[in-house]
Structure 1
Protein backbone atom coordinates (compact mmCIF):
# COMPACT_ATOMS: atom_id res chain seq x y z
CA UNK A 1 0.00 0.00 0.00
CA UNK A 2 1.36 3.44 -0.94
CA UNK A 3 0.72 6.16 1.62
CA UNK A 4 1.25 9.90 1.75
CA UNK A 5 1.83 11.35 5.19
CA UNK A 6 -0.33 14.48 5.29
CA UNK A 7 1.83 16.08 7.98
CA UNK A 8 5.14 15.73 6.19
CA UNK A 9 4.05 15.26 2.57
CA UNK A 10 6.28 12.18 2.32
CA UNK A 11 5.12 9.30 0.14
CA UNK A 12 6.22 5.77 0.92
CA UNK A 13 5.16 2.18 0.48
CA UNK A 14 4.09 0.55 3.70
CA UNK A 15 5.29 -2.91 4.62
CA UNK A 16 2.78 -5.52 5.72
CA UNK A 17 4.11 -5.02 9.30
CA UNK A 18 3.19 -1.33 9.15
CA UNK A 19 -0.24 -2.15 7.78
CA UNK A 20 -0.76 -4.72 10.54
CA UNK A 21 0.24 -2.35 13.36
CA UNK A 22 -1.54 0.70 11.96
CA UNK A 23 -5.00 -0.52 11.11
CA UNK A 24 -7.23 2.21 9.62
CA UNK A 25 -9.02 2.60 12.96
CA UNK A 26 -5.77 2.84 14.93
CA UNK A 27 -4.27 5.25 12.38
CA UNK A 28 -7.33 7.49 12.67
CA UNK A 29 -7.01 7.51 16.45
CA UNK A 30 -3.28 8.28 16.29
CA UNK A 31 -4.01 11.09 13.84
CA UNK A 32 -6.33 12.61 16.45
CA UNK A 33 -3.40 13.17 18.83
CA UNK A 34 -1.87 16.62 19.09
CA UNK A 35 1.83 17.04 18.22
CA UNK A 36 2.64 17.28 21.93
CA UNK A 37 0.64 14.13 22.71
CA UNK A 38 2.56 12.32 19.96
CA UNK A 39 5.80 13.50 21.55
CA UNK A 40 4.68 12.16 24.95
CA UNK A 41 3.63 8.86 23.33
CA UNK A 42 7.01 8.65 21.57
CA UNK A 43 8.94 9.20 24.82
CA UNK A 44 6.67 6.76 26.68
CA UNK A 45 8.00 3.85 24.60
CA UNK A 46 11.17 3.76 26.74
CA UNK A 47 9.14 3.39 29.94
CA UNK A 48 9.77 5.29 33.15
CA UNK A 49 7.50 7.23 35.42
CA UNK A 50 5.83 10.58 35.01
CA UNK A 51 8.74 12.35 36.72
CA UNK A 52 11.25 10.98 34.19
CA UNK A 53 8.97 11.81 31.26
CA UNK A 54 8.46 15.32 32.63
CA UNK A 55 12.23 15.86 32.84
CA UNK A 56 12.78 14.56 29.29
CA UNK A 57 10.01 16.76 27.91
CA UNK A 58 10.69 19.83 30.05
CA UNK A 59 7.14 19.96 31.40
CA UNK A 60 5.46 19.43 34.77
CA UNK A 61 4.50 15.98 36.04
CA UNK A 62 0.85 17.05 36.16
CA UNK A 63 1.06 17.97 32.49
CA UNK A 64 2.52 14.55 31.65
CA UNK A 65 -0.33 12.91 33.56
CA UNK A 66 -2.89 15.05 31.70
CA UNK A 67 -1.34 14.16 28.33
CA UNK A 68 -1.27 10.44 29.17
CA UNK A 69 -4.90 10.54 30.27
CA UNK A 70 -5.86 12.26 27.03
CA UNK A 71 -3.79 9.85 24.90
CA UNK A 72 -5.24 6.79 26.63
CA UNK A 73 -8.78 8.14 26.19
CA UNK A 74 -8.30 9.13 22.52
CA UNK A 75 -6.75 5.76 21.65
CA UNK A 76 -9.56 3.98 23.56
CA UNK A 77 -7.12 2.02 25.70
CA UNK A 78 -7.74 0.77 29.22
CA UNK A 79 -4.50 1.61 31.00
CA UNK A 80 -1.07 3.19 30.90
CA UNK A 81 0.40 -0.26 30.35
CA UNK A 82 -1.65 -0.69 27.17
CA UNK A 83 -0.60 2.80 26.07
CA UNK A 84 3.08 2.00 26.67
CA UNK A 85 2.80 -1.28 24.76
CA UNK A 86 1.10 0.46 21.84
CA UNK A 87 3.81 3.12 21.83
CA UNK A 88 6.52 0.45 21.63
CA UNK A 89 4.64 -1.29 18.84
CA UNK A 90 4.03 1.86 16.81
CA UNK A 91 7.54 3.28 17.16
CA UNK A 92 9.41 -0.05 16.82
CA UNK A 93 9.50 -0.08 13.02
CA UNK A 94 11.67 2.42 11.10
CA UNK A 95 8.83 3.17 8.67
CA UNK A 96 6.55 3.88 11.59
CA UNK A 97 9.20 6.09 13.14
CA UNK A 98 8.99 8.18 9.97
CA UNK A 99 5.43 9.10 10.90
CA UNK A 100 6.75 11.07 13.84
CA UNK A 101 9.93 13.10 14.02
CA UNK A 102 10.49 14.34 17.59
CA UNK A 103 13.08 16.85 16.37
CA UNK A 104 10.54 18.34 14.00
CA UNK A 105 8.36 19.50 16.89
Structure 2
Protein backbone atom coordinates (compact mmCIF):
# COMPACT_ATOMS: atom_id res chain seq x y z
CA UNK A 1 0.00 0.00 0.00
CA UNK A 2 1.14 3.52 -0.74
CA UNK A 3 0.99 6.30 1.82
CA UNK A 4 -1.52 9.10 1.18
CA UNK A 5 -3.56 7.18 -1.42
CA UNK A 6 -7.23 6.45 -1.04
CA UNK A 7 -7.38 2.89 0.22
CA UNK A 8 -10.90 2.36 1.55
CA UNK A 9 -14.31 3.95 1.35
CA UNK A 10 -16.91 3.48 4.06
CA UNK A 11 -20.63 4.12 3.89
CA UNK A 12 -23.57 3.72 6.22
CA UNK A 13 -26.69 1.68 5.48
CA UNK A 14 -29.85 0.75 7.37
CA UNK A 15 -30.30 -2.58 5.55
CA UNK A 16 -27.07 -4.43 4.79
CA UNK A 17 -28.80 -7.21 2.86
CA UNK A 18 -30.47 -4.67 0.54
CA UNK A 19 -27.16 -2.88 0.00
CA UNK A 20 -25.36 -6.15 -0.81
CA UNK A 21 -28.10 -7.18 -3.24
CA UNK A 22 -27.98 -3.81 -5.00
CA UNK A 23 -24.18 -3.65 -5.50
CA UNK A 24 -24.00 -7.31 -6.49
CA UNK A 25 -26.74 -6.84 -9.11
CA UNK A 26 -25.56 -3.47 -10.42
CA UNK A 27 -21.76 -3.81 -10.28
CA UNK A 28 -20.96 -7.47 -9.49
CA UNK A 29 -19.14 -6.59 -6.25
CA UNK A 30 -18.41 -9.30 -3.69
CA UNK A 31 -18.96 -9.00 0.07
CA UNK A 32 -17.58 -10.31 3.35
CA UNK A 33 -19.73 -10.05 6.45
CA UNK A 34 -18.01 -9.01 9.69
CA UNK A 35 -20.79 -9.60 12.17
CA UNK A 36 -24.33 -8.23 11.98
CA UNK A 37 -23.31 -4.57 11.70
CA UNK A 38 -20.59 -4.46 9.05
CA UNK A 39 -19.97 -5.76 5.56
CA UNK A 40 -16.86 -5.16 3.47
CA UNK A 41 -16.89 -5.01 -0.32
CA UNK A 42 -14.28 -5.99 -2.90
CA UNK A 43 -14.01 -6.15 -6.71
CA UNK A 44 -14.85 -2.46 -6.94
CA UNK A 45 -11.41 -1.07 -7.81
CA UNK A 46 -11.11 0.20 -4.24
CA UNK A 47 -12.00 -1.72 -1.10
CA UNK A 48 -14.54 -0.41 1.36
CA UNK A 49 -17.44 -1.28 3.58
CA UNK A 50 -20.90 -0.50 4.87
CA UNK A 51 -21.63 0.02 8.54
CA UNK A 52 -25.16 -0.66 9.74
CA UNK A 53 -26.68 2.56 11.05
CA UNK A 54 -30.12 3.92 11.81
CA UNK A 55 -28.91 7.46 11.08
CA UNK A 56 -30.02 9.22 7.92
CA UNK A 57 -27.21 9.47 5.36
CA UNK A 58 -26.34 13.16 4.97
CA UNK A 59 -23.42 14.68 3.07
CA UNK A 60 -21.61 11.42 2.45
CA UNK A 61 -18.54 11.41 0.26
CA UNK A 62 -19.32 11.32 -3.43
CA UNK A 63 -17.50 8.34 -4.81
CA UNK A 64 -17.10 8.23 -8.57
CA UNK A 65 -17.07 4.93 -10.44
CA UNK A 66 -15.99 4.46 -14.05
CA UNK A 67 -17.90 2.70 -16.84
CA UNK A 68 -17.43 3.03 -20.58
CA UNK A 69 -21.17 2.71 -21.39
CA UNK A 70 -23.14 5.11 -19.21
CA UNK A 71 -26.51 4.49 -20.85
CA UNK A 72 -26.26 0.73 -20.36
CA UNK A 73 -25.10 1.05 -16.77
CA UNK A 74 -27.76 3.62 -15.91
CA UNK A 75 -30.39 1.07 -16.99
CA UNK A 76 -28.72 -1.62 -14.84
CA UNK A 77 -28.66 0.71 -11.82
CA UNK A 78 -32.39 1.43 -12.20
CA UNK A 79 -33.25 -2.27 -12.59
CA UNK A 80 -31.22 -3.08 -9.45
CA UNK A 81 -33.25 -0.57 -7.42
CA UNK A 82 -31.14 2.57 -7.67
CA UNK A 83 -32.65 6.02 -8.19
CA UNK A 84 -31.07 8.40 -10.70
CA UNK A 85 -30.40 11.69 -8.91
CA UNK A 86 -28.70 13.42 -11.87
CA UNK A 87 -29.24 12.28 -15.43
CA UNK A 88 -26.23 11.87 -17.72
CA UNK A 89 -24.49 15.21 -18.24
CA UNK A 90 -21.29 16.36 -19.92
CA UNK A 91 -18.30 17.97 -18.27
CA UNK A 92 -14.79 18.74 -19.54
CA UNK A 93 -13.19 15.36 -20.12
CA UNK A 94 -16.27 13.18 -20.14
CA UNK A 95 -19.82 12.55 -19.02
CA UNK A 96 -21.41 11.18 -15.87
CA UNK A 97 -24.59 10.50 -13.93
CA UNK A 98 -25.39 10.28 -10.22
CA UNK A 99 -27.58 7.76 -8.45
CA UNK A 100 -28.86 6.96 -4.97
CA UNK A 101 -28.45 3.44 -3.65
CA UNK A 102 -31.11 1.81 -1.42
CA UNK A 103 -29.54 3.38 1.71
CA UNK A 104 -29.56 6.90 0.24
CA UNK A 105 -25.83 7.13 -0.55
CA UNK A 106 -25.19 9.21 -3.68
CA UNK A 107 -22.52 8.00 -6.08
CA UNK A 108 -21.49 9.05 -9.56
CA UNK A 109 -20.43 7.11 -12.62
CA UNK A 110 -18.29 8.77 -15.27
CA UNK A 111 -16.97 7.86 -18.70
CA UNK A 112 -14.53 9.37 -21.12
CA UNK A 113 -16.44 7.75 -23.99
TM bracket (short chain): 0.3 to 0.5
Task: Determine which structure has the larger strand proportion and give its number.
Answer: 2
TM-score (norm 1): 0.33
Task: Determine which structure has the larger helix proportion and give its number.
Answer: 1
TM-score (norm 2): 0.31
Considering Cα pairs closer than 8 Å and 6+ residues apart, tell me whether 1 or 2 has the greater RCO.
Answer: 1
